[in-house]
Structure 1
Amino acid sequence: MFSKILIANRGEIAVRIIRACKEMGIATVAIYSQADRDALHVALADESYCVGGASPGESYLNEERVVSAALVSGAQAIHPGYGFLSENAHFAALCRKNGLVFIGPSPESMEELSDKARLKEIMGRNGLEVIPGTQVLASAQAALAAAAEIGYPVMLKASAGGGGRGIRLVSAPNEMTQAYALAVAEGEASFGDGSVYMEKYVHPARHIEVQVLADEAGNVVCLGERDCSVQRHHQKLIEESPSPAVSRSQRKKLMELTARAVKAIGYVGVGTLEFLLDRDGRFWFMEMNLRLQVEHGVTEMLTQVDLVKWQIRTAAGVPLNFQQQNVALNGACVECRINALTPGTLSMLHVPGGPFVRFDTYLVSGISVSPYYDALLGKLIVYAGTREEAMRKMKAALCELVVEGIETNIAEQLELVSDPRFMTGQYDLTFMEGR
């Protein structure tokens, strides 16, 4: 096991990883930008290093500076969290070159699985239905030709994408040139990679993702599914597990097929397979995220499996000590993402309490929310024995959560979970249309 880990991230995920390391007896190293000098993750880590200016390109995305900080600190491994460098094969290779363990898939695995067309081919061979799509597109003209073959509407997606960035819906040929340019620009700005591919647009549908955990010995377990269908501009707002739209028999089959596919590609670590569930009950495989998800806490509360600790363990070569039959999927869990609507300075914070209520955040009194980074302030997660009780618990927790000095979406989240369609589980990706 590692004795010291550098966390190459910021915000609530850096705090989450540091806390897991402390419980495991692992020393922690934080990195920070000039804008994050007073951040909570810096205070909690055993040591910290400034890696540059406020913009991500000057700091958290600067691969050489991140690696240098790890080497100077004597860290043996780097945990990338999510976003930033978490799915960057070049960075993973740079870590290996410098004798550091990248806590995530190998560079070779990331390179192979980043080929969306090849990944879909593998998943298709292992029984998953895949959405028709393309490999990386060379130009807007190539995109027009591909769309004519696939049929409109289509989605343009950044190859290195995540978090809903670099995605554009194209309904007609006259929209393609501008949409292609925007998807490329957003991919370059967010991930340093402007490559774009295309998929058929499945609509209406629900966004369902399956959490997997795999070790070097070839053991794979599925930790159930999450329903992430409440989204605005492809940004998730609410997640729940299990999905009210997935039956027990559907879940069993989906988990079996997912485990088989993950085993076939030899994946190691935590990963998430994303699907669209159409109104005919068919699951269409979209892509695989090779990292910890923002919403991992939903699965942790439902299954009582600490994904961050197991991500660290599997990276160190530790085999899983439990099997699929040991995974319990009882009760219901729901998460609301609390976002800042404008930059500001926190003057007062009250966190809701009670059994099975969790708020993952980096907020402390006096902290300023920077315009340079993601708007996520924290994730409010609750668990209960039934979905109905979980919904009531979430409403109570949202009413109790107080964040002053920063304009947030708490009131909107309360409206969303109180919507009769959400309360009854009768919602899909059209839920936020018109809001």
Structure 2
Amino acid sequence: MIRSLLIANRGEIAIRIAQTATDMGIVVYCIQTNREANALYLDYADEIIILEENPNGSIYLNVEELIRICKENKIEAIHPGYGFLSESPYLASRCKDEDIMFIGPNDKAIYTMGNKGMARNLAKKSGIPVLEGSTSNITNFKDAKMWAEKIGYPIIMKAVAGGGGKGMRIVRFSDELELMYKLVVNEAKSAFNDDSLLIEKYVENPKHIEIQILADKHGNAVHLYERECSIQRKHQKLMEEAPSTILTKELRNKMGEMALYLCKKIKYHTLGTVEFLVDKDMNFYFLEMNTRVQVEHPITECITGIDLIEQQIKTAVGEVLEFEQSDIKIKGWAIELRVNAEDVQADFSPTPGIIDKMEFPNCSFLRVDTGFESGKLIPPSYDSMISKLIITGNDRQEAIDHAIAIIDNSVIKGVKTTIPFFKSVLNHPDFINGSYNTSFISEKLDKPYFQEQDEEKAAAIMALQAYLKENQNIEKNMVHEDSSVWASKMRSKLF
């Protein structure tokens, strides 16, 4: 087992990793930057590396600087968390060169599964259903047009190196293709320094289901069932639940087995997530694989009782898996709400700033993973996540009831958040009955915030009163003006 670990990340995931690493007796190193000099995650470090960041970049994206820190401080391992360099084959390769343990799969697996085209082709060769799509990377508009016409609209264009919902556009008609192609290319070049893309047939209104897998270096692998991730905006997840309402036992096992088969084909180890789309006829298709810990991993921990970060570290250093597939059972239900500093009425635009007050209920069915507390600054230079609220119940309805109670009794002041949005979703009939899909926000929500019937009536009455009052003022002004004109005319006649 390793004795020291550098967390190459920040925020709530840095705290999450630090807590488990500390429990395992590992000395935790964190990086203090001038962007977040008083960050909460620093309180969880045994040792702090103080750095002045280049204003044009981030230390969390600087491979050589991270390697230097480990070498100078004799740190044995790097945990990249999620985002930043978590899916960088170069970081994994450099760690191997310098005899530093990388808490993740090897560089070859990261590269293969991180390239959407290669991952798709591997899935197809492995007998896993894939959507009709381009068979090679597309690097010019001529090829994009050829593949679009061959596949047939609607299609979706994806940056080959994409992730986090970036570099993706849906095209439903041929006259949209050129504009959408330019948008994807520009975004891919900016975000990933790679403007190649692939094209797939687009599935209208699918369910987004992901399978959590865990594998060791000795050929053992298990899946930890699924997470439902269909509540999305701009291809980015906002809330998740585990398990899913739509999977039968047979379909769950089939998807799990195919996810494991794919991982064994590339001798994958540690944590990984294989993502699928499920259409209205319950056909499923490989989407992509994430070779890191997911933001939504806590809900899997809640329904299985397994600490995924602990298992990720153990399998990375070479330990044998502690359990078999038959040992893993689903217990209860879990829902995760990503509380972001965003204005839901302004198309979820970020609202960085200082949190004046933040309080969540203290109860047995709530777990709060957060990188902030009252008085802390949410910096504009990073993502807008404040906290993850992980709510459990013995069954789905109880988990929903608990989630509504948590939202009703949570307080965040100083910045606008996604809390009103969650209340709207949790009270929506399509969410309650489990029939929602990835088009839920765009097609089902009248507004991205919730109002009780009484609140709506009160708002309507107030609006009507304001309207009537304004009309009265206009009428008075008109009468006054008319009478003044009449009086002046009369005066001119009389005098």
- Kindly provide the amino acid, as one letter, of the partner of residue 217 in structure 1: H
The one-letter amino acid of 1:296's match is H
Closer/same/farther in 2, CA of residues 430 and 295 from structure 1, 3 Å limit:
same
5+ residue gaps, structure 2, are 343-350, 446-495
Number of the residue aligned with 2:74: 74
Distance 1:428 1:345, change over 3 A: same
Q: Go from structure 1 to structure 2 and tell me whether the alpha carbon gap of 1:116 and 1:343 turns closer, same or farther (over 3 Å shift).
A: closer
**What's the TM-score once normalised by structure 2's chain length?**
0.84
State the alpha-carbon separation in 2 of the partners of residues 218 and 70 from structure 1: 30
* 2:138 paired with 1:104: no
1:278 maps to: 279
Q: CA deviation at 1:280?
A: 0.6
For residues 190-210 of structure 1, the C-alpha deviation after alignment (integer angstroms, 9 at most, x for no partner) is 344433222211112110100
Question: Which AA in structure 1 matches 2:250?
Answer: S
The two structures, once aligned, show a CA RMSD in angstroms of 1.7
Q: Distance in 1 between matches of 2:149 and 2:396?
A: 43
Aligned to 1:117: 117
Please tell me whether the aligned partners of residues 128 and 285 of structure 1 are also in contact (alpha carbons under 8 angstroms).
yes
Aligned residues: 435
Asked if residue 362 in structure 1 is aligned to residue 363 in structure 2, the reply is no
Residues 104-183 of structure 1: pairs in structure 2 closer than 5 A: 104-134=104-134, 135-183=136-184
Give the structure 2 partner of residue 391 of structure 1: 400
2:458 aligns to what?
A: none
Distance 1:331 1:55, change over 3 A: farther
Confirm whether residue 61 of structure 1 aligns to residue 70 of structure 2. Answer: no
* Deviation for aligned residue 1:29: 1.0
Name the CA distance, whole Å, in 1 between partners of 2:220 and 2:307: 17
Q: 1:36 to 1:54 in 2, by over 3 A?
A: farther
Which secondary structure state, in structure 2, belongs to the residue aligned with residue 34 of structure 1? coil
> Which residue in the other structure is 2:293 paired with?
292
Which segment is superposed worse, 162-171 or 292-301?
162-171
Instruction: Verify the 8 A CA contact 2:153 2:201 in the aligned structure 1.
Output: yes
Of 339, 356, 364, the residue aligned with 1:347 is 356
Aligned to 1:259: 260
Q: CA deviation at 1:257?
A: 2.2
Distance 1:103 1:180 in 2: 36
Single out whichever of 59-68 and 80-89 deviates more from structure 2. 59-68
Is contact 2:212–2:273 with CA below 8 Å preserved after alignment? yes
Q: Distance in 2 between matches of 1:297 and 1:193?
A: 32
2:300 and 2:196 mapped to 1: Cα distance?
31
Contact 1:222 1:259 in 2 (8 A): yes
1:266 deviates by 1.0
| Runs of at least 4 residues off by over 6 Å | none
Change (3 A) 1:330 1:58: closer
Cα distance between partner residues in 2 of 1:164 and 1:50: 32
Q: Alpha-carbon deviations, 1:224-282, whole Å to 9, x = none?
A: 11110011111111101111011122112221222222222211111111111001111
Q: Which amino acid aligns with 1:353?
A: N
Give the greater-gyration-radius structure (CA): 2
Partner amino acid, structure 1, of 2:43: A
Segments of structure 1 that go 5 or more residues without pairing to the other structure are none
Structure with a larger share of its residues in helix: 2
User: Structure 1 residues 189 and 5 mapped into 2: Cα distance closer, same or farther (>3 Å)?
Assistant: farther
Look up the SS of the partner of 2:441 in the other structure.
Answer: coil
How far does the alpha carbon of each residue in 1:110-131 deviate from its partner, in whole angstroms, 9 at most, with x for none?
Answer: 2222343343333234342112
Q: For 1:432, what is the secondary structure of its paired residue?
A: helix
| Contact persistence 1:231–1:238 (CA under 8 A) | yes
The verdict on how the C-alpha distance between 1:167 and 1:107 changes in structure 2, with shifts beyond 3 A counting, is: same
